[in-house]
Protein backbone atom coordinates (compact mmCIF):
# COMPACT_ATOMS: atom_id res chain seq x y z
CA UNK A 1 0.00 0.00 0.00
CA UNK A 2 1.52 3.34 -1.02
CA UNK A 3 1.62 5.33 2.21
CA UNK A 4 3.75 8.45 2.44
CA UNK A 5 5.77 8.64 5.66
CA UNK A 6 6.27 12.15 7.03
CA UNK A 7 8.98 13.46 9.34
CA UNK A 8 6.78 15.46 11.74
CA UNK A 9 4.73 14.21 14.71
CA UNK A 10 1.28 15.61 13.96
CA UNK A 11 0.05 18.66 12.13
CA UNK A 12 -3.45 19.92 11.34
CA UNK A 13 -4.46 22.62 8.90
CA UNK A 14 -7.90 23.85 7.89
CA UNK A 15 -7.94 24.08 4.10
CA UNK A 16 -11.49 25.30 3.52
CA UNK A 17 -14.18 26.61 5.87
CA UNK A 18 -17.81 26.39 4.77
CA UNK A 19 -19.30 29.88 4.48
CA UNK A 20 -22.63 28.98 6.12
CA UNK A 21 -21.97 26.18 8.61
CA UNK A 22 -19.08 25.13 10.87
CA UNK A 23 -18.07 22.41 8.41
CA UNK A 24 -14.47 22.54 7.25
CA UNK A 25 -12.02 20.56 5.14
CA UNK A 26 -8.65 19.90 6.72
CA UNK A 27 -5.44 17.92 6.45
CA UNK A 28 -4.17 15.95 9.41
CA UNK A 29 -0.53 15.04 8.98
CA UNK A 30 1.04 12.19 10.96
CA UNK A 31 4.28 10.23 10.57
CA UNK A 32 2.27 7.71 8.53
CA UNK A 33 0.87 10.17 6.01
CA UNK A 34 -1.90 12.65 5.37
CA UNK A 35 -5.49 12.15 6.57
CA UNK A 36 -8.07 14.25 4.73
CA UNK A 37 -10.79 15.53 7.03
CA UNK A 38 -13.66 15.19 7.68
CA UNK A 39 -12.76 11.53 7.96
CA UNK A 40 -14.33 8.29 9.14
CA UNK A 41 -12.13 5.79 10.99
CA UNK A 42 -13.05 2.10 10.62
CA UNK A 43 -12.78 0.33 13.96
CA UNK A 44 -10.13 -2.35 14.39
CA UNK A 45 -10.88 -3.34 17.98
CA UNK A 46 -8.46 -6.27 18.17
CA UNK A 47 -5.99 -4.93 15.62
CA UNK A 48 -8.14 -5.80 12.61
CA UNK A 49 -11.19 -4.27 10.96
CA UNK A 50 -13.44 -7.26 11.31
CA UNK A 51 -13.76 -9.49 8.27
CA UNK A 52 -11.57 -7.52 5.85
CA UNK A 53 -7.88 -7.15 5.06
CA UNK A 54 -5.85 -3.96 5.52
CA UNK A 55 -5.69 -3.70 1.73
CA UNK A 56 -9.49 -3.77 1.50
CA UNK A 57 -9.74 -1.11 4.19
CA UNK A 58 -7.29 1.07 2.27
CA UNK A 59 -9.21 0.57 -0.98
CA UNK A 60 -12.38 1.80 0.72
CA UNK A 61 -10.77 5.22 1.05
CA UNK A 62 -9.85 4.96 4.73
CA UNK A 63 -6.58 6.69 5.68
CA UNK A 64 -6.77 6.08 9.43
CA UNK A 65 -8.13 3.27 11.61
CA UNK A 66 -8.92 2.99 15.30
CA UNK A 67 -7.48 0.40 17.66
CA UNK A 68 -8.69 -0.39 21.15
CA UNK A 69 -6.15 -0.05 23.94
CA UNK A 70 -8.18 -2.08 26.43
CA UNK A 71 -8.61 -5.14 24.21
CA UNK A 72 -5.09 -5.05 22.77
CA UNK A 73 -3.66 -4.77 26.30
CA UNK A 74 -5.53 -7.93 27.33
CA UNK A 75 -4.95 -9.83 24.06
CA UNK A 76 -2.30 -10.31 22.74
CA UNK A 77 -0.66 -7.99 25.29
CA UNK A 78 1.54 -4.93 25.11
CA UNK A 79 4.86 -6.79 25.08
CA UNK A 80 3.82 -9.12 22.24
CA UNK A 81 2.92 -6.16 20.03
CA UNK A 82 6.16 -4.39 20.96
CA UNK A 83 8.19 -7.51 20.16
CA UNK A 84 6.50 -7.76 16.76
CA UNK A 85 7.64 -4.27 15.85
CA UNK A 86 4.63 -2.26 16.94
CA UNK A 87 0.99 -2.12 15.96
CA UNK A 88 1.58 -1.17 12.31
CA UNK A 89 3.96 -4.03 11.67
CA UNK A 90 1.89 -6.47 13.71
CA UNK A 91 -1.37 -5.72 11.89
CA UNK A 92 -0.09 -4.96 8.41
CA UNK A 93 -1.79 -1.54 8.34
CA UNK A 94 0.59 1.08 6.99
CA UNK A 95 -1.63 4.13 7.50
CA UNK A 96 -2.28 6.21 10.60
CA UNK A 97 -3.54 4.48 13.75
CA UNK A 98 -5.44 6.16 16.57
CA UNK A 99 -5.95 4.20 19.76
CA UNK A 100 -8.58 5.11 22.32
CA UNK A 101 -7.80 4.98 26.02
CA UNK A 102 -9.89 1.92 26.82
CA UNK A 103 -11.88 4.01 29.28
CA UNK A 104 -15.22 3.21 27.67
CA UNK A 105 -14.58 -0.53 27.85
CA UNK A 106 -13.32 -0.38 31.44
CA UNK A 107 -16.25 1.65 32.68
CA UNK A 108 -18.76 -0.53 30.84
CA UNK A 109 -17.68 -3.44 33.02
CA UNK A 110 -19.83 -2.03 35.86
CA UNK A 111 -19.62 -4.77 38.50
CA UNK A 112 -16.07 -5.73 37.53
CA UNK A 113 -14.40 -2.37 38.21
CA UNK A 114 -13.80 0.21 40.92
CA UNK A 115 -13.02 3.87 40.19
CA UNK A 116 -10.61 5.79 42.40
CA UNK A 117 -8.98 9.23 42.00
CA UNK A 118 -5.77 7.45 40.99
CA UNK A 119 -7.32 5.30 38.27
CA UNK A 120 -9.59 2.31 37.83
CA UNK A 121 -9.16 -1.25 39.05
CA UNK A 122 -10.94 -3.92 37.01
CA UNK A 123 -11.22 -7.62 36.38
CA UNK A 124 -10.43 -8.90 32.91
CA UNK A 125 -13.53 -10.24 31.12
CA UNK A 126 -11.15 -12.69 29.41
CA UNK A 127 -9.70 -14.59 32.38
CA UNK A 128 -10.80 -12.75 35.53
CA UNK A 129 -7.31 -11.40 36.32
CA UNK A 130 -7.07 -8.04 38.09
CA UNK A 131 -5.61 -4.94 36.46
CA UNK A 132 -5.18 -1.26 37.30
CA UNK A 133 -5.37 1.51 34.70
CA UNK A 134 -4.02 4.93 35.60
CA UNK A 135 -3.66 7.93 33.28
CA UNK A 136 0.07 7.23 33.22
CA UNK A 137 -0.14 3.50 32.43
CA UNK A 138 -2.64 4.11 29.63
CA UNK A 139 -0.18 6.56 28.04
CA UNK A 140 2.61 4.00 28.44
CA UNK A 141 0.59 1.22 26.80
CA UNK A 142 -0.31 3.31 23.76
CA UNK A 143 3.23 4.59 23.39
CA UNK A 144 4.69 1.10 23.65
CA UNK A 145 2.44 -0.41 20.97
CA UNK A 146 3.30 2.46 18.62
CA UNK A 147 0.05 4.36 18.07
CA UNK A 148 0.28 7.56 16.03
CA UNK A 149 -2.47 9.33 17.99
CA UNK A 150 -3.19 8.46 21.61
CA UNK A 151 -6.16 9.29 23.83
CA UNK A 152 -6.09 10.18 27.52
CA UNK A 153 -7.93 8.10 30.12
CA UNK A 154 -11.43 9.38 30.89
CA UNK A 155 -14.70 8.14 32.31
CA UNK A 156 -17.54 7.65 29.87
CA UNK A 157 -20.44 8.94 31.97
CA UNK A 158 -23.59 6.77 31.91
CA UNK A 159 -26.83 8.17 30.54
CA UNK A 160 -28.72 9.43 32.41
CA UNK A 161 -26.63 10.57 35.39
CA UNK A 162 -27.21 13.08 38.15
CA UNK A 163 -25.57 16.49 38.13
CA UNK A 164 -23.47 15.60 41.18
CA UNK A 165 -22.14 12.37 39.65
CA UNK A 166 -21.46 14.07 36.34
CA UNK A 167 -19.61 16.95 37.97
CA UNK A 168 -17.37 14.68 40.07
CA UNK A 169 -16.61 12.48 37.07
CA UNK A 170 -15.91 15.43 34.78
CA UNK A 171 -13.53 17.00 37.30
CA UNK A 172 -11.72 13.66 37.57
CA UNK A 173 -11.42 13.43 33.77
CA UNK A 174 -9.83 16.90 33.72
CA UNK A 175 -7.29 15.91 36.40
CA UNK A 176 -6.50 12.69 34.54
CA UNK A 177 -6.00 14.63 31.31
CA UNK A 178 -3.48 16.92 33.01
CA UNK A 179 -1.59 13.94 34.41
CA UNK A 180 -1.63 12.27 31.00
CA UNK A 181 -0.10 15.26 29.26
CA UNK A 182 2.79 15.40 31.72
CA UNK A 183 3.89 11.86 30.89
CA UNK A 184 3.04 12.02 27.17
CA UNK A 185 5.35 14.97 26.43
CA UNK A 186 8.26 13.80 24.31
CA UNK A 187 6.68 10.52 23.22
CA UNK A 188 6.33 11.66 19.60
CA UNK A 189 2.61 10.84 19.55
CA UNK A 190 -0.32 13.11 18.83
CA UNK A 191 -2.22 13.53 22.11
CA UNK A 192 -6.00 13.95 22.26
CA UNK A 193 -8.00 14.69 25.41
CA UNK A 194 -11.67 13.75 25.90
CA UNK A 195 -14.34 16.33 26.65
CA UNK A 196 -16.95 15.01 29.07
CA UNK A 197 -19.70 16.73 31.08
CA UNK A 198 -22.76 14.64 30.29
CA UNK A 199 -25.77 16.65 29.18
CA UNK A 200 -25.28 19.60 31.46
CA UNK A 201 -24.34 22.70 29.47
CA UNK A 202 -22.34 24.25 32.30
CA UNK A 203 -20.25 21.11 32.83
CA UNK A 204 -19.57 20.54 29.13
CA UNK A 205 -18.40 24.11 28.68
CA UNK A 206 -16.31 24.00 31.86
CA UNK A 207 -14.63 20.77 30.79
CA UNK A 208 -13.93 22.12 27.31
CA UNK A 209 -12.42 25.35 28.60
CA UNK A 210 -10.23 23.60 31.17
CA UNK A 211 -8.87 21.13 28.62
CA UNK A 212 -8.21 23.90 26.12
CA UNK A 213 -6.26 25.73 28.83
CA UNK A 214 -4.12 22.63 29.39
CA UNK A 215 -3.59 22.33 25.65
CA UNK A 216 -3.75 19.21 23.46
CA UNK A 217 -3.05 18.25 19.85
CA UNK A 218 -6.71 17.37 19.34
CA UNK A 219 -10.02 17.31 21.19
CA UNK A 220 -12.29 14.27 21.33
CA UNK A 221 -15.89 14.64 22.43
CA UNK A 222 -16.96 11.63 24.47
CA UNK A 223 -20.00 10.45 26.38
CA UNK A 224 -22.34 10.80 23.39
CA UNK A 225 -24.35 8.20 21.46
CA UNK A 226 -24.90 6.42 24.79
CA UNK A 227 -28.68 6.22 24.62
CA UNK A 228 -29.67 9.88 24.46
CA UNK A 229 -31.98 11.32 21.76
CA UNK A 230 -30.04 12.60 18.79
CA UNK A 231 -31.28 16.13 19.43
CA UNK A 232 -29.40 16.11 22.76
CA UNK A 233 -26.21 14.93 21.09
CA UNK A 234 -26.44 17.66 18.47
CA UNK A 235 -27.09 20.25 21.18
CA UNK A 236 -23.87 19.24 22.97
CA UNK A 237 -21.93 19.60 19.71
CA UNK A 238 -23.42 23.06 19.18
CA UNK A 239 -22.19 24.03 22.66
CA UNK A 240 -18.74 22.47 22.54
CA UNK A 241 -17.21 22.81 19.07
CA UNK A 242 -17.14 26.65 19.03
CA UNK A 243 -15.01 26.55 22.21
CA UNK A 244 -12.33 24.33 20.67
CA UNK A 245 -9.45 26.16 18.94
CA UNK A 246 -10.00 26.43 15.19
CA UNK A 247 -6.58 24.97 14.42
CA UNK A 248 -7.17 21.73 16.33
CA UNK A 249 -8.99 18.61 15.07
CA UNK A 250 -12.31 17.71 16.69
CA UNK A 251 -13.18 14.04 17.07
CA UNK A 252 -16.68 12.75 17.87
CA UNK A 253 -16.19 9.35 19.51
CA UNK A 254 -18.31 6.31 18.66
CA UNK A 255 -20.48 7.98 15.99
CA UNK A 256 -22.05 6.93 13.76
CA UNK A 257 -24.72 6.47 11.17
CA UNK A 258 -24.55 8.39 7.88
CA UNK A 259 -26.97 11.10 9.05
CA UNK A 260 -24.92 11.56 12.24
CA UNK A 261 -21.78 12.09 10.17
CA UNK A 262 -23.45 14.81 8.13
CA UNK A 263 -24.92 16.53 11.17
CA UNK A 264 -21.61 16.29 13.00
CA UNK A 265 -19.66 17.78 10.10
CA UNK A 266 -22.09 20.70 9.89
CA UNK A 267 -21.34 21.33 13.57
CA UNK A 268 -17.59 21.38 13.01
CA UNK A 269 -16.53 17.76 13.62
CA UNK A 270 -13.46 16.51 11.73
CA UNK A 271 -13.13 12.87 12.81
CA UNK A 272 -15.54 10.00 13.49
CA UNK A 273 -15.33 6.31 14.34
CA UNK A 274 -17.95 3.60 14.70
CA UNK A 275 -18.55 -0.12 14.21
CA UNK A 276 -21.70 0.63 12.19
CA UNK A 277 -20.41 -0.26 8.69
CA UNK A 278 -18.79 -3.53 9.77
CA UNK A 279 -21.37 -4.68 12.32
CA UNK A 280 -24.28 -3.83 10.05
CA UNK A 281 -22.58 -5.64 7.19
CA UNK A 282 -22.37 -8.82 9.27
CA UNK A 283 -26.06 -8.46 10.11
CA UNK A 284 -27.08 -8.06 6.48
CA UNK A 285 -27.72 -4.31 6.45
CA UNK A 286 -26.22 -2.53 3.45
CA UNK A 287 -25.94 1.24 3.09
CA UNK A 288 -26.82 3.05 -0.14
CA UNK A 289 -27.55 6.63 -1.13
CA UNK A 290 -31.23 5.71 -1.21
CA UNK A 291 -31.24 4.21 2.27
CA UNK A 292 -30.44 0.93 3.94
CA UNK A 293 -31.03 -2.43 2.24
CA UNK A 294 -31.91 -5.44 4.39
CA UNK A 295 -30.49 -8.14 2.18
CA UNK A 296 -32.39 -11.05 3.75
CA UNK A 297 -35.73 -9.64 2.56
CA UNK A 298 -37.42 -11.88 0.02
CA UNK A 299 -37.71 -9.13 -2.60
CA UNK A 300 -33.98 -9.55 -3.29
CA UNK A 301 -34.23 -13.29 -3.98
CA UNK A 302 -33.93 -12.86 -7.74
CA UNK A 303 -32.73 -9.25 -7.91
CA UNK A 304 -30.03 -8.94 -10.59
CA UNK A 305 -28.91 -5.46 -9.54
CA UNK A 306 -25.78 -4.82 -7.48
CA UNK A 307 -26.27 -3.45 -3.97
CA UNK A 308 -25.97 0.08 -5.35
CA UNK A 309 -25.94 0.73 -9.09
CA UNK A 310 -23.01 2.97 -9.94
CA UNK A 311 -20.96 1.94 -6.91
CA UNK A 312 -17.45 0.84 -7.93
CA UNK A 313 -16.60 -1.26 -4.88
CA UNK A 314 -15.52 -4.86 -5.42
CA UNK A 315 -18.83 -6.22 -4.15
CA UNK A 316 -20.99 -4.12 -6.47
CA UNK A 317 -18.72 -4.69 -9.46
CA UNK A 318 -18.96 -8.49 -9.15
CA UNK A 319 -22.14 -9.63 -7.43
CA UNK A 320 -25.91 -9.25 -7.46
CA UNK A 321 -28.27 -8.64 -4.57
CA UNK A 322 -29.66 -12.12 -5.24
CA UNK A 323 -26.26 -13.71 -4.70
CA UNK A 324 -25.58 -11.70 -1.55
CA UNK A 325 -28.97 -12.72 -0.17
CA UNK A 326 -28.21 -16.36 -0.97
CA UNK A 327 -24.88 -16.14 0.87
CA UNK A 328 -26.47 -14.47 3.87
CA UNK A 329 -29.36 -16.91 4.13
CA UNK A 330 -26.91 -19.82 3.76
CA UNK A 331 -24.74 -18.55 6.58
CA UNK A 332 -21.81 -18.29 4.20
CA UNK A 333 -18.89 -16.26 5.55
CA UNK A 334 -18.17 -14.77 2.14
CA UNK A 335 -21.47 -12.90 2.27
CA UNK A 336 -20.53 -11.13 5.50
CA UNK A 337 -17.18 -10.12 4.01
CA UNK A 338 -18.72 -8.79 0.81
CA UNK A 339 -21.34 -6.84 2.77
CA UNK A 340 -18.62 -5.28 4.91
CA UNK A 341 -16.51 -4.36 1.87
CA UNK A 342 -19.46 -2.48 0.39
CA UNK A 343 -20.37 -0.69 3.63
CA UNK A 344 -16.81 0.50 4.21
CA UNK A 345 -16.66 1.73 0.64
CA UNK A 346 -19.97 3.56 1.10
CA UNK A 347 -18.69 5.35 4.20
CA UNK A 348 -15.45 6.26 2.45
CA UNK A 349 -17.35 7.64 -0.54
CA UNK A 350 -19.75 9.56 1.71
CA UNK A 351 -16.87 11.34 3.43
CA UNK A 352 -15.27 12.16 0.08
CA UNK A 353 -18.56 13.65 -1.14
CA UNK A 354 -18.90 15.64 2.10
CA UNK A 355 -15.43 17.11 1.64
CA UNK A 356 -16.28 18.11 -1.93
CA UNK A 357 -19.55 19.71 -0.81
CA UNK A 358 -17.66 21.81 1.76
CA UNK A 359 -15.09 22.88 -0.81
CA UNK A 360 -17.92 24.03 -3.08
CA UNK A 361 -19.89 25.79 -0.28
CA UNK A 362 -22.95 23.59 -0.64
CA UNK A 363 -22.95 21.58 2.58
CA UNK A 364 -26.53 22.50 3.50
CA UNK A 365 -27.72 21.57 0.02
CA UNK A 366 -25.84 18.27 0.35
CA UNK A 367 -27.66 17.53 3.61
CA UNK A 368 -31.02 18.37 2.05
CA UNK A 369 -30.29 16.14 -0.95
CA UNK A 370 -29.18 13.29 1.33
CA UNK A 371 -32.43 13.34 3.31
CA UNK A 372 -34.56 13.63 0.16
CA UNK A 373 -32.98 10.47 -1.25
CA UNK A 374 -33.54 8.61 2.01
CA UNK A 375 -37.25 9.51 1.96
CA UNK A 376 -37.68 8.34 -1.63
CA UNK A 377 -36.51 4.79 -1.00
CA UNK A 378 -39.12 2.12 -1.64
CA UNK A 379 -39.03 -0.42 1.20
CA UNK A 380 -39.60 -4.05 0.40
Task: Give one DSSP letter per residue of 216-265, joined into a string.
Answer: -SEEEE-S-SSS--HHHHHHHHHHHGGGS-TTS-EEETTB--HHHHHHHH
100 is catalytic: yes
SS3 292: strand
**What residues does 34 pair with on adjacent strands?**
29
Catalytic residue among 18, 217, 273, 289: 273
CA separation for the pair 305, 233 (Å, rounded): 37
DSSP character at residue 289 = T
CA separation for the pair 8, 189 (Å, rounded): 10
154 is catalytic: no
Query: Residue 260: which of 232, 239, 294, 290 has the closest Cα?
Result: 232
Catalytic residue among 100, 154, 260, 289: 100
Query: Residue 32: which of 7, 58, 57, 61 has the closest Cα?
Result: 7
Q: Where are the alpha helices (DSSP H) in 60-200?
A: 69-74, 78-83, 87-91, 103-107, 135-145, 163-184
CA separation for the pair 138, 3 (Å, rounded): 28
Q: Are strands 113-116 and 119-123 parallel, antiparallel or unpaired?
A: antiparallel
CA separation for the pair 341, 286 (Å, rounded): 10
Q: Active-site positions?
A: 100, 273
Amino acid sequence: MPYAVCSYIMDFKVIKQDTVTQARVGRLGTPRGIVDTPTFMPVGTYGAVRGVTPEEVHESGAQIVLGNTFHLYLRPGTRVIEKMGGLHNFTGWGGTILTDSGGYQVFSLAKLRKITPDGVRFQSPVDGSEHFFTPETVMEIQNTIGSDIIIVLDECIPYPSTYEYTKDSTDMTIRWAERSKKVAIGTGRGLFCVIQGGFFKELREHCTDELVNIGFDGYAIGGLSVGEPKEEMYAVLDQVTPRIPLDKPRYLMGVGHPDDLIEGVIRGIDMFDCVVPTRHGRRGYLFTDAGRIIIKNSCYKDDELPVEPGCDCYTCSKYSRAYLRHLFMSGEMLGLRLNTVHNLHYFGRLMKEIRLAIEEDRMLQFREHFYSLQKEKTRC
